[in-house]
Structure 1
Amino acid sequence: MRSIRTSAPRRRGRRGVVAATGLVAALALTATACGGSGEDKASGKPEATTSQAADNDTGEVRIPSDIADRLKEHGVDVDKWKEGGWKDWDKDKWLREAKDFVNPVIEGLWKPERMMSAKEADKRITTKDASADQGVSDPEPAPVTAQAEKTPYHRNAAPVGKVFFDSPEGPSVCSGTVIKDVNHPGKSNLVWTAGHCVHAGGNGGWYRNLVFVPAYNDYGKSEADLSNANPTEIAPYGNWWADWAATSNGWIKGGSETGGAGAAYDYAVLHVKPEQGSKSLEETVGAALDVDFSAPSAAEAGKMGAWGYPAAPPYNGLKMFKCLDTPGRLSLSSSLPTMYRIGCTMTGGSSGGGWFRVLNGKTVLVSNTSIGPTDNTWLAGPQLGRDAEALYQSMSKNYGGQ
């Protein structure tokens, strides 16, 4: 698949999470709840590159002067950005370097109807592409039919949500997961997703208006039921804008429409802030997951589960689905790291969604959805090793406390 490329009051905290006694149960449920906000409180080789944008303490959108100066060097009028200047996708002005990322809050841009119109960011590869493996791939897995997650998601699933952004093709969507911030325990504002959900790769630049919506459509309502939905039904914890983003140089340089050489490095971390409110993301949703950077081999990893919001037919992007399978190896080239591959029928829109496994009795994020085939029978995700950990640590240390 193409890596399957593929604001509201906070009302609910994550309720106490049942201790998992079996693998499926453990993968289906989030790790220890950390306490929510509002009415319900929880009971019971590529070098990492980082980019930034920022607001001042008053909530008024400000772009740091050094970034503003660089944008102007690229011919971008910063003052007009929020008034629609971001819609200019002139290739000469499509900012691609890490230092050029900018994502000022445009309050009210991501309304429910605009979210529902977003198309999947989908990366598909052909059978021929997938077989160019130099003999190190395992046999193609049997398809695993994606299962709908139980509702409400904030009680039954890991802290997964949808990542919305604007691309030259229009409003687009991926999936993402709230992860812990090791340097700011209990107050994480970090989200894990795919690199192709934030940056176009070798032939483009940073996407715009990046927003994370945790537990999107928490009760799994139908399109008809959501036709007159208020923002809290769609976004129970509000909209969280990325004020910093980081992905790998491997994706920035090698990513393509089918994943390309960047697929093995197709991961990203967002640092987010609420469109409204002041509490951290982890405090607001009541949960976050650790990331496993040990990069276990497929044989060592055990069963994995992939979660996300598939949006391409036969799905419509409104509901969360999951697949559980034992991973095999996928190699796109002998010069690239091996990827994990599992059977799964999720389609575009699930890109960036977390892959989880149980490690030492708790659920951890071990990969994310990156690519899949045109017939939607399996998914593949990158191994997260030292390079991914360096990217994560950089985000946490430099921006996590802001």
Structure 2
Amino acid sequence: MRSIRTSAPPRRGRRTVLTATGLVAALALTATACGGSGKDEASDKPDATTSQAAGGDGGKVTIPSDLADRLKEHGIDVDRWKDGGWEDWDKDKWLREAKDFVNPVIEGLWKPERMRSAEEADKTVTTQDASAAEGVSDPEPAPVDAQAEKTPYHENAAPVGKVFFDSPEGPSVCSGTVIKDVNHPGKSNLVWTAGHCVHAGGEGGWYRNLVFVPAYNDLGKSEAELGSASASEVAPYGNWWADWASTSGGWIQGGSDTGGDGAPYDYAVLHVKPEQGGKSLEETVGAALDVDFSAPSAAEAGEMGAWGYPAAPPYNGLQMFKCLDTPGRFSLSPGLPAMYRIGCTMTGGSSGGGWFRVRDGETVLVSNTSIGPMDNTWLAGPQLGEDAEALYQNMSRTYGGQ
């Protein structure tokens, strides 16, 4: 989650009473019934194909020739990459263009202990940024205490999981949601998350070793219990590597450590494949959600719920939490599109986690966690309109069946 630094005392609005709403009930049914420029550009790469650990090569990574050529084009020593050079970060060579996303599978990299070491992806926005559009934003909502999701998660929640990746600062973590693939019904390999969980924005490039773990820690085990848990208990549906990623041109151009002009475009779609064979993600998990690209206004949207794995204190990133509230408008600038904002105490690590609402009796994804204040009293997420739908459709049509 991007955090906003605010030194002024927060304004308080009407607190929403949390009840056993239709949204929660619908989510449970959904999960169990199935066994600048805001233009979006496909930041995908056909050469970002899988490479597997070579059993007879000392555990080194085997890189397909087309990907090896791509790395060489960027001045990367392929032999060093295979021997662990993927851990080295040179800002002058940090892949940043849409066509430059590369994410070869390093089998066994994301072991349970490495997952636990990953820190939340966070962003900060200054007080000036937060107050720049007071005439556009609605009054700050009252905080809503995040509630722990019931276990097992795969029976009680939408198909939410954790997104792991390597950044220049080390192993990092966000949240994500399995979404339906309109062009490949029942066999989706698509995951919705935040743009800042895949790309650093205007001053950086693509993150590395992107992996999605659906229903992470499905039984909600404690840190002590996870220390002796098996890989299947930590990742009940396995690890799913992103072989393609798409985020918005607005985020790539305008995203920053303070959210920046890219904040309203802070969303992304991953196309994933299992680390070791198997069926599609949707078939494996047994659930996927439609995405609502109608971009309803905050006044029209009704109640929303945000789900994710908050990792910054007082949370530790091991359990899934949720918040329900009625959204208001939030904008960092009068010239930028308004975002949704709800009261919620989830912290960093919940970034990219889906926001859901009930539309025509069905639970749909309507936004994702993007930014929030340093005191962790609310969250804001982008409205998903035509540009977001174009990004999604391009990913689905071009790579969905692969």
Q: Deviations over 1:293-342 (max 9, x none)?
A: 00000000000000000000000000000000000000111221110000
> Secondary structure of the equivalent of 1:317?
coil
1:128 aligns with 2:128: yes
1:118 aligns with 2:111: no
> Secondary structure of the equivalent of 2:241?
strand
- Counterpart for residue 319 of structure 1: 319
- Counterpart for residue 29 of structure 1: 28
Matches of 2:80 and 2:346 in 1, distance apart? Answer: 39
- Counterpart for residue 174 of structure 1: 174
> Secondary structure of the equivalent of 1:271?
strand
Unaligned runs of 5+ in 1: 5-20, 36-41
Matches of 2:279 and 2:173 in 1, distance apart? Answer: 25
- Counterpart for residue 336 of structure 1: 336
CA distance change for structure 1 residues 98 and 233 in 2, over 3 Å: closer, same or farther?
same
1:54 aligns with 2:49: yes
> Secondary structure of the equivalent of 1:158?
coil
> Quick check: 2:31–2:156 contact (8 Å CA) kept in 1?
no
**Alignment length, in residue pairs?**
377
- Counterpart for residue 13 of structure 1: none
Aligned-pair distance for 1:47?
A: 3.0
Matches of 1:64 and 1:246 in 2, distance apart? Answer: 23
Matches of 2:228 and 2:244 in 1, distance apart? Answer: 33
Aligned-pair distance for 1:215?
A: 0.2
1:391 aligns with 2:391: yes
Matches of 1:214 and 1:311 in 2, distance apart? Answer: 16
* One-letter amino acid matched to 1:263: A
> Quick check: 2:41–2:98 contact (8 Å CA) kept in 1?
no
> Quick check: 1:3–1:263 contact (8 Å CA) kept in 2?
no
Percent identity of paired positions between Structure 1 and Structure 2? 79
> Secondary structure of the equivalent of 1:51?
coil
* Pairing of 1:171-320 with structure 2 (within 5 A): 171-320=171-320
1:157 aligns with 2:160: no
Aligned-pair distance for 1:370?
A: 0.2
Aligned-pair distance for 1:32?
A: 6.2
> Secondary structure of the equivalent of 2:2?
coil
CA distance change for structure 1 residues 98 and 79 in 2, over 3 Å: closer, same or farther?
farther
> Quick check: 1:191–1:272 contact (8 Å CA) kept in 2?
yes
Matches of 2:25 and 2:380 in 1, distance apart? Answer: 21
Aligned-pair distance for 1:363?
A: 0.3
Matches of 2:85 and 2:146 in 1, distance apart? Answer: 40
Aligned-pair distance for 1:26?
A: 3.5
- Counterpart for residue 91 of structure 2: 91
Moved more, 124-133 or 104-113: 124-133
* One-letter amino acid matched to 1:23: G
Matches of 1:58 and 1:260 in 2, distance apart? Answer: 39
Aligned-pair distance for 1:30?
A: 5.3
Matches of 1:321 and 1:381 in 2, distance apart? Answer: 17
Aligned-pair distance for 1:25?
A: 2.6
> Secondary structure of the equivalent of 2:225?
coil
CA distance change for structure 1 residues 127 and 23 in 2, over 3 Å: closer, same or farther?
farther
TM-score between the two structures when normalised by the length of structure 1: 0.90
> Secondary structure of the equivalent of 1:225?
helix
Moved more, 334-343 or 128-137: 128-137
* One-letter amino acid matched to 2:253: K
Aligned-pair distance for 1:131?
A: 1.4
Q: Deviations over 1:73-93 (max 9, x none)?
A: 220123432321111211111
